[in-house]
Structure 1
Amino acid sequence: MSNVIKSAVLFVGALMIALIVRVVIMSGSHQTKPVVDTQKVLVSAADLPQGLLLRDADLGWKAVPVAEVAVGAIVAGVPGAPDLKGALLRHATASGTVLMAEDVILPNAPGFLAATLKPEMRAVSVAVDDVSGNAGLIQPGDYVDLLLTQQMDRRTDSPDLAVSSETVVEHVRVLAVGSEIQRPKSGDATDAIGNRARTVTLEVTPRMGEVVSVAARLGSLSLALRSFATASRDPDASKPASSAQRAPVWAGDISRAVRDLPRAHAVQVSAAAPAAVAPRAVAIYRGSEKADATATAAAGGDSTPPPLPAVPPQR
């Protein structure tokens, strides 16, 4: 029995030693990972050109170690951090670049509208309503076409030409809607900024400004929103290659009913010579004698009436 007890004691001792060695090895191999604090900073979500009005798709957040956060970076959750949406980018920015307040001109800064204009461009405002302004859905930074619709019934008697519509200005940038020069936040696209606006300010060339001024006198203006889906975010590069004038659209091009209306008959002008007008008889008095100027002229006499007596000088 003593041998069995000794063997059992040795086995238990060896098992305990093995467990102790295993615990020591595992504790030695386990390394505590250091805790690294990070903060989310605002960065550009794509390559952005100079002069761009920033929108949500242009901005993103990137986790950066606290020790690497640059001075002046916009950190998520920090009270009082500036909102760069709708701001004007001062210079071109590569994708992933940390954006700071110094990189943009904020919408509430003095002279923001003048700074938004590209060189040799002008700002012109046009009157709109809820229909012609796309029900307030057009926002600063969008690109639009300007359509002119005219009532031509006073200028023509043809029903086909009673109404005309044409695009007078293409691909111009919206600078302001009403007095607002900043895009509304997400979910507020149909708030009071668009529904109360009665004017839209566009960025145009000097020639376009003249065209808009004349078009506003000719008829009603409407805005046609253009897509943001362009090959480049550069405003200059995204302009249409062709600016050829397209033919206007007339009422008869759209409505078959207008084309089937009866035409007004044109006034027929007689080709015959106008009838001779009989001369009026002129009576000439010479003292107590009366003569007919027409009869005198026919007899070959002088039909010129005598001169009027001279007015005596005033005393």
Structure 2
Amino acid sequence: MKVSRAGIMIGISCAAALAAVVLASQWMQARTGLGTSRIAVAATDINLGTRLTADMVKLAEWPAGSVPAGAFVDLGKLDTRVTRLAVQRGEPLLESKLALPGATGGLSAVVGEGRRAMTVRVNDVVGVAGFALPGNYVDILVSTQAEKPTGDHADRSVSKLVLERILVLAVAQEASQNDTRPKVVNAVTLEVTPEQAEKLDLARSVGQLSLVLRNQIDMTPATTTGATKQTLLSGAKAAPEATRPGKAGPPAPAARKVETRPGTSARARQCGEVMTASGRITQCY
């Protein structure tokens, strides 16, 4: 009888311990988010504008509490989709990084809805020494001649920012955002709206374009009025002519007018002081 009671107590203790372990494990998983889900990630580095194939994607374990919005759990839904952004190996494939279904790939799939891709010719100076790379934002500066009235021969050179925060889609024929090394190229493709495309086309026909590289997170618009030759040199003033040594002597004594006494000549006499060896004398004439 004693043995039976002991066995029962041991069994109850083991069951209680097992239940405690299970409950503790569930509580820790709920608290630390150790539960996982399988989502689609890139199996290799993928450039923007690439049509996805089966060997480019795979399912990977991901913390259930940190699954990003737009993630895919079915690889079949990624078949023939095109990437809008470059994706690194192991990075989740999200709907926001893909072009709309039916896109054929290439640079056209990268262009945002309602926007256009436009290419402008640049050189090593205009292209910011090759540091304007795909994914960067630039401002467009044009240097031209302002309109002037007939007969006005004044210099009307003007430089003005005409477009701000323009996305660089590609340099030459390369659209990869993975390489950050500067590339000196002869053409840059920009993403613009139709209105910006009109301004850009006019700007390159009337003057010389320059790209101005800007901070990626800088959203502050510029409030400049443009620079002209007059405003550029407005702070310069002619220096006063220096007096050469030995040229100017001591200032001559000022002549003073002396009133005539009654009964003398009506003409007022002019008098002046003259320094002599014997002292200062006054001479009138």
Q: Which has the higher strand share?
A: 2
What TM-score, normalized to structure 2?
A: 0.48
What TM-score, normalized to structure 1?
A: 0.44
